[in-house]
Structure 1
Amino acid sequence: MRFVAAACLSVLPLAADAVDAAAVRAAVDRAIQPMMALHDVPGMAVAVTVDGHAMFFNYGLASKEGRVPVSENTLFELGSVSKTFSATLACYAQGLGKLAFDDHPGAYMPQLKGAAIDRANVLELGTYTGGGLPLQFPDDVEDDAQMLAYFRAWRPDAPPGTQRRYSNPSLGLFGHVTALALQAPFADAVEGRLFPALGLAHSHIRVPAAALGDYAWGYDRTNRPVRVSPGVFDAETYGVKSSAADMIRYVQENIDASGLPEPMRRAIDCTHMGYFRIGDTVQGLGWEQYRAPVSLAVLQAGNGAKMSGEPNPATRLQPPQAPPRGTLFNKTGATRGFGAYIVFVPTYRVGIVMLANKNYPIPARVQAAYAILDQLVPDAVRDDGAVNTHK
């Protein structure tokens, strides 16, 4: 397999004075270029923030057919990284007094009162601990009426709050309830309230015609060009398209939210609380957390198939846990033609955004980001295979 293009780097004006840009570029190139070649990734946009300064590294092509190069403004499908925006919107609604996490979905959807799903509360839906909802809806759930029928008929396999099972129906219902609490369609609430409050001018659920020229094509396993298809709760769970420029701004706001207006600052802080421990992972709203220094083995396990595809025992943190010093936050995301990974460590004011137009293996994403972090802030990581107990 052939690496499609050399990397290019652009740095925000202050970055050159604050960090060794050449050293960062070398670290990113070492991690990204061989990985792209190995997994036949057409294009990637990588952004790194160090102490508030952002650097952009652009590789390959956003469209092989049009020979369009990737830039920091290229739009990529974020997949499940979209869930962090659903979580932020929910925290924002809670801060406004519109949504209560200890309410049950029936408080906002009377059609679900008395159903088994109504035994879970809003927080449990947002942390995948509602009782064992599956990864995806069945194929025959194609509209809101079928969604309601599915939830009314669903039966749990564990009491709420005892088992984490990663689930689009769970997180999707969490986002749907949030939109009902805000009395706005979910996409309208995100695009009309959340993105503007975060200063994200080039992030979309519904890509407008004026931005289609920036929208990359994804490539499936056979290298056919693809883009995401609509589905029930797509906007809530995997529907955001964004750029490296917007996403590194979002990461910077998660590292330091002090520049945001008060309702949004509280919302960011809310998504950083830990609610359940699952082995070495702490589950928050949207983000998963690890106590640094964290080994590559622990980070890959936390983003591995067992965590995403199987039920895992969960221990409720009472009270919810504010992130200790050195906490590492991350989230993966994928659609059929795209793969994303976001990681940041607020204590060290460092974060990485990796957006690709191919759904390449998650272990490779984590390993590449880990290698970059190891160069930037070795105190945050520990590549020795040891188990980090996160206690």
Structure 2
Amino acid sequence: MAVEDIIKSHVDSGNSHAISVGLINGNETKFFNYGEIKKESKIAPTSKTIYEIGSMTKTFTTILAIQLEKDGIISLSEPIVKFLPELKNSDFEKKQINLFHLLTHTSGISEFSVGVFTSQMFSLMSSGKSQIKEYQYDLDNFLKYVSKLKLKDNPGSTFRYSNFGFGLVGKILEKVTGKSYEKLVKTHICDAIGMNNTGITPSESQKSELVTGYSLKNTKVEFWNVPAIESAASLFSTTDDMVKFLKANLGLMETSLSLALTHCRQTEIVPKIPLTMKFFTKSVGITLSKFRLGWFVFPQNDGLDILGLDGGTEGFSSFMAINPLKQSGITILTNRGMKPVHKLGLSLLLEMNKK
């Protein structure tokens, strides 16, 4: 089946109302758009249509932290209590948690217990709404909440996926620079790469490009507002911008971020993966064993490592991946929450790499 037919079938089968895909193969770039930006609007998306990218935000945050370290503004090895004294006398101080632990999901924060995860999934499936109220907290309440958390494991030893951890990273970066997270991303990453339609708060001109998001129950939802974890899941973008982002990460375009991007791409982390995490990821078709800074690693049968990350919010699902060896990449943005597109993305990337 042709690439375009596979993409169309994703919408025709009811998995989403709109899909935008960007494919990179060396210096060749192709865009595919299908469906409609709002039900019954008959308006097709384009490469400039704006979607939420969810947890793909974490890769931006990691790159930003590495760049600020290279600029001498922070050190990832410094205990985070140095930047957030509100966490004194907490497990974060006792265990000397640093920024590197937070960026690699190895701080021991375990926000997704079986009970919380089950409740969250039930809520998303029944109402399309998240039940994790802490994501809505302002800074003071967020820090009060996390200061009471008991951290599992030895720091740096075990992978436990955490939006809270990345939320803390963002608060620290804001504090040491005196700038908002959105401003930092725009000035350090977007301006360097030429990404003009990536951010958190859309401008008046960008509002006309916003696609409507739909929950798993197929009801209209607003763009996510999660101030406590902006640096984990709050960015929006377009396939046009995301292709530029992936090209920069592949080294296909030289930018002021090139050293930071290479450092992230080449730094391997191999933590212990808890059985519960192995079971969950396997259930959605992902095999986790190792990571790069800001990236999951999807190992292939031929020994090749694909680097990628997916994203999901109440109304959007997304995915990006790069094959550094083949200098190829893919980004997929859709307007349906809780409908993962990593399998679709990996299959399209691998199919392209065969040619």
TM-score by length of 2: 0.84
The size of the alignment, in residue pairs, is: 320
Distance 1:257 1:210 in 2: 30
**Between 160-169 and 231-240, the greater mean CA deviation after superposition:** 231-240
2:153 is the alignment partner of 1:158 = yes
SS at match of 1:94: helix
Q: In the alignment, is the contact (CA less than 8 A) between 1:61 and 1:68 conserved in 2?
A: yes
Shift of 1:183: 2.8
Tell me the C-alpha RMSD between the 2 structures.
2.2
**Between 270-279 and 341-350, the greater mean CA deviation after superposition:** 270-279
**Between 212-221 and 275-284, the greater mean CA deviation after superposition:** 275-284
The 5 A counterparts of 1:6-45 are 27-45=2-20
Q: In the alignment, is the contact (CA less than 8 A) between 1:31 and 1:369 conserved in 2?
A: no
Show structure 1 runs of 5+ residues with no match.
1-25, 295-324, 380-391
2:239 is the alignment partner of 1:244 = yes
SS at match of 1:62: coil
**Between 191-200 and 46-55, the greater mean CA deviation after superposition:** 191-200
SS at match of 2:133: coil
Residue of structure 2 in register with 1:259 after alignment: 254
Residue of structure 1 in register with 2:109 after alignment: 132
Distance 1:227 1:28 in 2: 31
Residue-by-residue CA offset, 1:228-272 (whole Å, 9 max, x unaligned): 2322334211111110011011111111165112xx112212221
The equivalent position to 2:289 in structure 1, one of 281, 284, 287, is 281
Distance 1:290 1:360 in 2: 20
Distance 2:228 2:261 in 1: 23
Residue of structure 1 in register with 2:179 after alignment: 184
The percentage of counterpart residues that share the same residue type is 21
Residue of structure 1 in register with 2:322 after alignment: 344
2:121 is the alignment partner of 1:146 = no
Amino acid at match of 1:182: T
Structure richer in strand, relative to its length: 1
Residue of structure 2 in register with 1:109 after alignment: 84
Amino acid at match of 1:152: S
Q: In the alignment, is the contact (CA less than 8 A) between 2:26 and 2:252 conserved in 1?
A: no
Residue of structure 2 in register with 1:305 after alignment: none
The 5 A counterparts of 1:1-391 are 27-118=2-93, 119-135=96-112, 139=133, 142-256=137-251, 259-261=254-256, 264-272=257-265, 273-278=267-272, 280-293=288-301, 326-362=304-340, 365-378=341-354
Distance 2:334 2:132 in 1: 28
Shift of 1:82: 0.9
SS at match of 1:188: helix
Check 1:229–1:368 CA distance in 2 against 1; reply closer, same or farther (3 A cut). Answer: closer
Distance 1:120 1:361 in 2: 34
Distance 2:30 2:226 in 1: 35
Residue-by-residue CA offset, 1:207-234 (whole Å, 9 max, x unaligned): 1111100011111123222122322334
SS at match of 1:36: helix
Distance 2:186 2:343 in 1: 33
Shift of 1:38: 2.5
Q: In the alignment, is the contact (CA less than 8 A) between 2:54 and 2:318 conserved in 1?
A: yes
SS at match of 2:187: helix
SS at match of 2:330: strand
Amino acid at match of 1:205: I
Check 1:78–1:61 CA distance in 2 against 1; reply closer, same or farther (3 A cut). Answer: same
SS at match of 1:163: coil
Q: In the alignment, is the contact (CA less than 8 A) between 1:338 and 1:357 conserved in 2?
A: yes
Distance 1:259 1:197 in 2: 10
Check 1:120–1:260 CA distance in 2 against 1; reply closer, same or farther (3 A cut). Answer: same
Distance 1:163 1:260 in 2: 33
Show structure 2 runs of 5+ residues with no match.
117-130, 274-287
Distance 2:253 2:32 in 1: 27
**Between 178-187 and 49-58, the greater mean CA deviation after superposition:** 178-187
Distance 2:182 2:140 in 1: 19
Distance 2:99 2:313 in 1: 26
Q: In the alignment, is the contact (CA less than 8 A) between 1:51 and 1:349 conserved in 2?
A: yes
Check 1:335–1:285 CA distance in 2 against 1; reply closer, same or farther (3 A cut). Answer: same
Amino acid at match of 1:165: R
Distance 2:53 2:311 in 1: 6
SS at match of 1:270: helix
Q: In the alignment, is the contact (CA less than 8 A) between 2:156 and 2:271 conserved in 1?
A: no
Shift of 1:27: 3.2
Shift of 1:180: 2.2
SS at match of 1:333: strand
Amino acid at match of 1:368: L
